[in-house]
Amino acid sequence: MDSLELIESFSEFKELKNIDKQTMQHVLEDVFRAMLKKKFNTDEHIDVIVNIDKGDVQIFLNKEIVDDGEVEDPNTEIAYSDAIKIEPDFEIGEEVTEEFKFLDFGRRNVLSLRQNLISRIMELEKDHLYKLYKERVGEIVTGEVYQVWKKEIMVLDDEGNELILPKSEQIPSDYFKKGESIRAVVAKVDMRNSSPVIILSRTAPEFLERLFELEVPEVFDGLITIKKIVREPGERAKVAVESYDDRVDPVGACVGMKGSRIHGIVRELKNENIDVINYTNNPQLFIQRALSPAKITSIEIDEEAGRAKVFLKPDQVSLAIGRGGHNIKLGGKLTGYELDVYREGEVDVEDVDLEEFGDEIDGWILDELKAIGCDTAKSVLDLGVMELVKRTDLEQETIEEVFKILNAEFE
């Protein structure tokens, strides 16, 4: 392999990896210089000239002319009698420049040189990819599904870089086949075994925020600000928006005429219900809006405990809680308060807080009941077994056992 073949092989590699010519030239010079330093123990007397375009490498050794018989290092010095054979006008103390032939390296050194070049360029490529995507965290990328596994999907971007979409970052109803186009947000960039791993997400709130920026010009331009987003991916999301221009209705602008703007986002999120609400600094009003479409009668806020009691008419309770308890759960996350739902005028002094049953009922079961707004024994019993089966992830047998324990309290 001569210098031309070596440079040409790396010119092709450079084209594939998008490494600029100047960087490629510096890498080649460094690797050649390292090899020469190893061979001659120094590189101070050496000039390396790389021309990427011509596929040419030239190496020149600069040797000092000394008296005959006084040559101590033939790599850096040359006898006067040999120097005048090259140029009769040379004098002692001057420098002679000789070209070092590429083939003088020897085949083994050439192969080692090639391996070093590959290693250096791979490092450059990894570093470039890491920096590129580190700056894109929180941005939407579009790619093509290349491989589908049980726990993750491999996606290729426009430049053929490998991105990973884990199962945990997919919407539950997501289903992708090889070759399909996919959109996701860059969640994070990790380094594993010295290689960058780009993790994508379709469940992150940032994904929904970027989709709003794409679909709603006022959000992209900054006329409307998204204050907070909370999601149960694939089920429901709540988006609090605010406008700095009184002439712009933030909710109306985000939803669009007859829902034209929001529909595209809903389709992308596999029919996730999206509630867009006006942000306000008034906590009572914010809670009221967050639990829409339920109509709230009154609210009692305990700032120190970070809790709020929400009183509703009996026919509004199920609306406030929502299917699977998603509405009240997201309402609490959006407002920052633990929300407790009460039927108006039905505060029962004989009722018992669910926490009192901690010795008889497992904590995770109590948490599941609280998630749908049931925090007392009677609020659980009033709903009935089948309604609780629908609203929670609990088995019917588990709920029936809970009912036995709660009923025993009032017998």
**Spatial separation of the C-alpha atoms in residues 95 and 297, rounded to whole Å:** 97
Q: Range(s) for CATH 2.40.50.140 in the chain? A: 136-203
Distances (CA, A) of 219 to 226, 227, 249, 271: 8, 11, 12, 22
pLDDT at position 375 = 75
Q: Range(s) for CATH 3.30.1480 in the chain? A: 3-132
pLDDT at position 105 = 66
Q: Which fold has domain 204-279?
A: GMP Synthetase; Chain A, domain 3 (3.30.300)
pLDDT in tens, 18-32: 566 677 777 777 877
Output 8 or 255, whichever has higher pLDDT.
Answer: 255
How many CB atoms neighbour CB 243 within 10 A?
Answer: 19
For 378-403, what is the mean pLDDT? 86
Give the rounded percent of residues in the chain with a pLDDT score beyond 70: 89
**Spatial separation of the C-alpha atoms in residues 52 and 14, rounded to whole Å:** 10
Does position 281 have pLDDT exceeding 50, yes or no? yes
**Spatial separation of the C-alpha atoms in residues 270 and 174, rounded to whole Å:** 7
pLDDT at position 278 = 94
Does position 311 have pLDDT exceeding 60, yes or no? yes
Is pTM beyond 0.85 here?
no
Q: Range(s) for CATH 3.30.300.20 in the chain? A: 204-279
Looking at domain 136-203, which CATH architecture does it have? Beta Barrel (2.40)
The answer to whether the CB of 391 falls within 8 A of the CB of 324 is: yes
pLDDT in tens, 206-265: 999 999 999 999 999 999 999 999 999 999 999 999 998 888 899 999 999 988 999 999
pLDDT in tens, 340-368: 888 775 545 567 778 888 888 888 888 88
Residue 133, phi then psi, degrees to nearest 5: -85, -20
- Helix, strand, coil percentages (3-state) for the chain, rounded to 5, are 45, 25, 30
Closest-CA residue to 388 (of 406, 403, 409, 408): 403
117: tokens are: 């070049």
The domain defined by 3-132 carries CATH number 3.30.1480: yes
Does position 1 have pLDDT exceeding 50, yes or no? no
Does position 80 have pLDDT exceeding 70, yes or no? yes
Helix (H/G/I), strand (E/B), else coil: 98:
strand
Closest-CA residue to 339 (of 368, 312, 297, 306): 306
pLDDT at position 345 = 59
pLDDT at position 24 = 73
Give the rounded percent of residues in the chain with a pLDDT score beyond 90: 39
Give the DSSP per-residue string, 61-78.
EEEEEE-TT--S-TTTEE
pLDDT in tens, 103-159: 666 667 767 777 777 787 788 888 888 999 999 999 999 999 999 999 999 999 998
Lowest-pLDDT range of 52-66, 81-95, 304-318, 321-335: 52-66
Residues whose CB is less than 8 angstroms from the CB of residue 406 and which lie 6 or more positions away in sequence, other chains included: 357, 377, 380, 381
- Cα Rg of the chain, angstroms: 36
Confidence of residue 56 (pLDDT cuts 50, 70, 90): low
The answer to whether the CB of 321 falls within 8 A of the CB of 236 is: no
